[in-house]
Amino acid sequence: MARIPDDVIDQVRQMADIVEVVGRRVMLRQAGRTFKGVCPFHGDKDPSLVVNRERGTWHCFGCGEGGNVFGFVMKDQGLSFPEAVRELAQGLGIIIPEPDMDESARRASDEKEKLLRVLEVAGKFFVEQLHGPAGAEARRYLREKRGLDRRTIDEFGLGYALDSWDGLRRHLLGRGVSEDLALRAGLLAPRESGGSYDRFRGRVVFPIRDDRGRVVSFGGRVLGQGEPKYLNGPESPLFFKSGALYNFDRARQHMHRKGRAVVVEGYFDVITMAAFGFEETVAPMGTALTAQQARLLARAAPRVILVFDGDEAGRKAARRSLDVFLGEGVHPLVHLLPGGEDPDSFLRAQGAGPLDEALERARPLAEATIEQIVRAGDAKSPEGKSAIVAQAGELIKAMGDPVAAWGYLEDLARRLALPPRVVAASLGLPVPGGPPSRPAPARCAPAPEGQRDERAILEMALCSAEAARHLVGCGILESLRDPLLAKIGRAVANVLDRTGSPDPAAVIQQLEDPRLQAMVSGLASRGLCLDGVDAGRQAQLMAQGLRRRRLRQERALLAQAIAEAERAGDAQRVDHLLAQRQRLVD
């Protein structure tokens, strides 16, 4: 995605009303100069989220998350920074200029735009056919066999491809679409004798969308008997099966909100899951999961849960995906449905409650796979145990987390009644004196006095241009000693120099680290609202107080050093340190 100019980013940030943007997701109530609500990013029930329209920030005092309007949209919808800017710009009517491109890039971009328009025309045609006279059988199939209501059908844009060799072809040619372009879009297939015919015929059609919600291909399912049962469009400049997940564009924001991504095997499984409230559900394009898809899921949610059929094919599909996930450092969970069931049939028979409970109890896929390997092998004979260790050991060695790897190694050893060190030696893994222990969680200690002073300085700088100018002028803001606070101080100085105002939302924009962004939103939320004169006077007093405390600290350190030099009998060093102390004046 091309880089968006800084002035356009500034324009979007300044025009976007953060209260309105957050208010679309959270019920906000005004509390003085700010607005409060329940944070959507953790399980809190108290109104710990504070939104400040004047400063352009949001901050949750429960989970510590915070930032500017872009940060909220990114976290809420699972978007990248450029995507969040474009999303807000579109709603504000701000046009983002296209970058300069060479002739080759321009042709490729034009080609994609043409393909997108053709696919949009085809999608509307399929929808019209579904709801027209020719789609009666398809409508009965969706309603009676699949249990889908009109709202769900419309939400997913389902359509019907006529049971005809050239129904779509004639429609596209009649709309001025060239045969060659329809072929490149994957809507038509070439005849060996020349010409073309409709790729999808007599099928329910599913639009496949990219992460921006644009139709990039279609999938189709036959109504009756026929092979293949499911058919996907071919790869094109817009569509790559290895990197696409069905419904990802709709599911991504739900994955972020629920903290989990659910993966099933087919289109109807996804649609039924979403209709029953599991809107965080996606499916691969009828093929095994790929590394690119695993990375998409890992970025979208902290937990990935596979919900596969409990038959042999489902178990094998889950097992194949484990290698892919481990290669990306992801440890997925799995729930295998009872034999003969898929998510579609299970939900329509039993409802959402039992499946929701099952998802909460989902097991690590690595654990389930190792258990399956042990059950399928000979766990009694020495030779059988050796074969099991070799097979399960490949999974254990693929784990990037040494703590998890050791835990699974111990579990495997227990199942086989072997000492863990023997299993580790067999796999060529290091044999520790004992299992690695997790470090004890660090206790939250109160901030040191110096850090509290520097935080107060930044709070003042972020709430008043007059205070910020004074703190920059006297050199305090750019000499903060805490490394993280120093980065924020430099960002405040940069924004002040560029715009004349220490706008917290603009300061956040200068910082890429989410921790620093949340620190700025927190500092800005705590800062007092003072007029220019009061803010300048307060900043002066704070700067003087910080200097005095620093002087006292330096004097105390010098006194300690002098005492140590005297005990050591180092008269030259004593004289040097006394001279240093003499130069320190309050």
One-letter amino acid for residue 29 of the chain: R
Residue 257 sits in a domain of what CATH number? 3.40.1360.10
Q: Give the pLDDT confidence score for residue 217 in this predicted structure.
A: 96
Residue 536 sits in a domain of what CATH number? 1.10.860.10
Q: Is residue 440 part of a domain?
A: no
Domain limit, last residue, from 63, 92, 121: 92
pTM of structure: 0.66
Q: Is residue 172 part of a domain?
A: yes
One-letter amino acid for residue 121 of the chain: V
Residues 423 and 383 in one domain: yes
Q: Is residue 356 part of a domain?
A: yes
Q: Is residue 1 part of a domain?
A: no
| Tokens at 496, concatenated | 């002040």
Domain limit, last residue, from 58, 92, 126: 92
Residues 317 and 270 in one domain: yes
Residues 457 and 566 in one domain: yes
Q: Is residue 19 part of a domain?
A: yes
Question: What total of structural domains would you count in the chain?
Answer: 5
Sheet strands side by side (includes 203-209): 159-161, 203-209, 215-222, 230-232
Q: How many CB atoms lie within 10 A of CB 431?
A: 11
Print pLDDT tens along the chain (586 aa).
457 888 899 999 999 999 999 998 888 999 888 899 988 887 677 888 999 998 899 999 888 889 999 999 988 887 788 888 998 998 888 888 776 666 777 788 788 899 999 999 999 999 999 999 999 999 999 999 999 999 999 999 999 999 999 999 999 999 999 999 999 999 999 998 889 999 999 999 999 999 888 999 999 999 988 888 999 999 998 998 888 999 999 998 888 888 899 999 889 999 999 999 999 999 998 777 888 899 889 888 889 999 988 778 888 888 888 888 888 888 999 999 987 788 988 998 899 999 999 999 999 999 999 998 999 999 999 999 999 999 998 889 888 778 888 899 999 999 999 999 899 888 888 776 544 444 434 334 444 555 677 888 788 788 777 777 778 777 777 778 788 888 888 888 888 888 877 788 888 988 888 888 988 888 888 766 555 556 667 767 777 677 777 677 777 777 888 888 888 888 888 788 777 777 765 4
Q: What is the DSSP string of 458-481?
A: HHHHHH-HHHHHHHHHTT-GGG-S
| Tokens at 210, concatenated | 């990219």
Q: Name the residue range of residue 406's domain.
A: 377-427
Residue 78 sits in a domain of what CATH number? 3.90.580.10
Residues 406 and 468 in one domain: no
Residues 547 and 511 in one domain: yes
3-state secondary structure of 48: coil
Burial environment of residue 387 by CB neighbours within 10 A (0 to 12, 13 to 18, 19 or more): middle
Burial environment of residue 541 by CB neighbours within 10 A (0 to 12, 13 to 18, 19 or more): exposed
Residues 53 and 174 in one domain: no
Residues 138 and 174 in one domain: yes
Instruction: Measure the CA–CA gap between 278 and 565, rounded to whole angstroms.
Output: 71
Residues 453 and 408 in one domain: no
Residues 270 and 305 in one domain: yes
**Nearest CA to 56 among 492, 509, 535, 519?**
509
Q: Give the pLDDT confidence score for residue 450 in this predicted structure.
A: 56
Q: Give the pLDDT confidence score for residue 133 in this predicted structure.
A: 96
One-letter amino acid for residue 390 of the chain: A
Domain limit, last residue, from 70, 92, 114: 92
Residues 234 and 247 in one domain: no
Residues 219 and 254 in one domain: no
Q: What is the DSSP string of 216-246?
A: EEEEEEESSS-SSSEEEPPP-SS--GGG--B
Q: Is residue 538 part of a domain?
A: yes
Question: Given phi > 0 = left and psi -120 to 50 = alpha, else beta, which region is 306?
Answer: beta
Residues 289 and 408 in one domain: no
382-398 helix and 312-327 helix, angle to the nearest 10 degrees: 50
Q: Give the pLDDT confidence score for residue 59 in this predicted structure.
A: 93
